[in-house]
Each structure stands twice: as structure tokens, then as C-alpha cells.
Amino acid sequence: DAGVIQSPRHEVTEMGQEVTLRCKPISGHDYLFWYRQTMMRGLELLIYFNNNVPIDDSGMPEDRFSAKMPNASFSTLKIQPSEPRDSAVYFCASRWGGASRPEAFFGQGTRLTVV
Amino acid sequence: RKEVEQDPGPFNVPEGATVAFNCTYSNSASQSFFWYRQDCRKEPKLLMSVYSSGNEDGRFTAQLNRASQYISLLIRDSKLSDSATYLCVLTHQTGANNLFFGTGTRLTVIP
């Protein structure tokens, strides 16, 4: 398996623009997570899905953030409009829901810079 | 109170030294525990799971103390390649729910 795949790897955009981050989880995993990492706050959970259904989006900072998972192999995180304080590394992770292997596997992240 | 608390470090140790990190957690119902490693500008990767009886993987030993609600990671004979940030991670229920991450402890092994 290729692992969790995220795109783009880097994104530089101007304030006010829409940004869409993409994630392909590991096949067979039924949990998908979106995290944001900054030096100040570490890894923060934004939202997670179970079988494509959003379970907890309490970490989504504002209405400017939205996430979808239209099928088991694809998810997007959208920021509209983007602001400089959104600059961070955004990670997608997936895991199998079984009790024997609860660990998550991360994609390489998208480094977002909003100027 | 945070779910998971770690000393951010940095820990600067000479090559060959033994170093230990602790991590405390607030929810006594926490079930599964892990140590992840994150290299600079890379994604976190699972280093090892932490079992109730303690477990060892080569130079790395992980232990869990449920009574005091902490887990530990011991690295023996440190290598330069061990330099990274070590993240303490837990779940509340096995097989469900999200992962809670500590902010990480930064380790630098010095030649």
C-alpha cells in the first residue's frame, strides 16, 4: 500500500483565497482524521470521519473551514476565505477501526502558507 | 487540563547516553497508548505501542503506570539518528474514537 497520500505538498496562497487540501487514506481504513500542526499549538485534531461520516468536528476553528468525505478513498479540507493565521502543516491520517490495531498512519502533510 | 502533557524539552544528550521521557494523561479511562516519532518537517510515525506490562523494542523501552497515569519511553545507547520529537499519544477506547497527542518532547543527540 502507498500509505496515506496528501496533495498538494506545499501551498502558498493569498489571503482571501480558497484553499482545498486533499487526502487519500489507506485502503480498508475506516477512520480518517485531519490535523493541523503549528509550533505554538502542536498537533490539533480538526475533524474525524468514521465510514465517511463526520463524527467530531469540534476542532474545526471556524465556519471558514469545512471537510468532506464523499467516499472511502477521498477526503477534502477546504478553507474559504483563507487567512494568514491558517498557515500551518495540515496532516491527514487514517486507521483501521478494529481493536487490535488502533494506531494511525499519517500522510506527509500539506504545508500551507497564507500571505 | 490537557489530555496529554509532555515536557517539551529540548533534551540534549551525548551519543551513547540513556534518556527517558515521561508523559502524563488526565483521563483514567484512556485505553491505548503509543509513542510516535516526528522528524523535522516530516509526518509523525508510530514508534511503538505501550502495553500494560511494559515492552521493549531494541534500544527502546516503553512503560505504562495506570495508577499514576503516566507512560514513559527509555532510549538506551542514544544514536545521532534518534534526534527527533517524540509524541505521546493515547485513545480513550480501543478501536474507536480519536487519538490525543501530546505536544512532543524534542531530543537532540550530540556527537
Cα of A50 to nearest chain B Cα, Å: 9
A42 and B101: CB-CB below 8 Å? Answer: yes
Q: How far is it between the farthest Cα atoms of chain B?
A: 42
Would you call A84 helix, strand, or coil by DSSP? helix
pLDDT-derived band of residue A100, with 50, 70 and 90 as boundaries? low
Q: For the residues B70-88, what does the mean pLDDT come to? A: 96
The answer to whether the Cα torsion of A2, A48, A72, A88 is positive or negative is negative
Quote the CA–CA distance of B103 and B88 in Å, as a whole number. 8
Q: For the residues B60-79, what does the mean pLDDT come to? A: 95
Quote the CA–CA distance of B108 and A109 in Å, as a whole number. 23
The fraction of chain B above a pLDDT of 70, given in percent, is 95
The answer to whether the Cα torsion of A39, A44, A47, A49 is positive or negative is positive
C-alpha atoms less than 13 angstroms from C-alpha of A77 in its C-beta half-sphere:
32
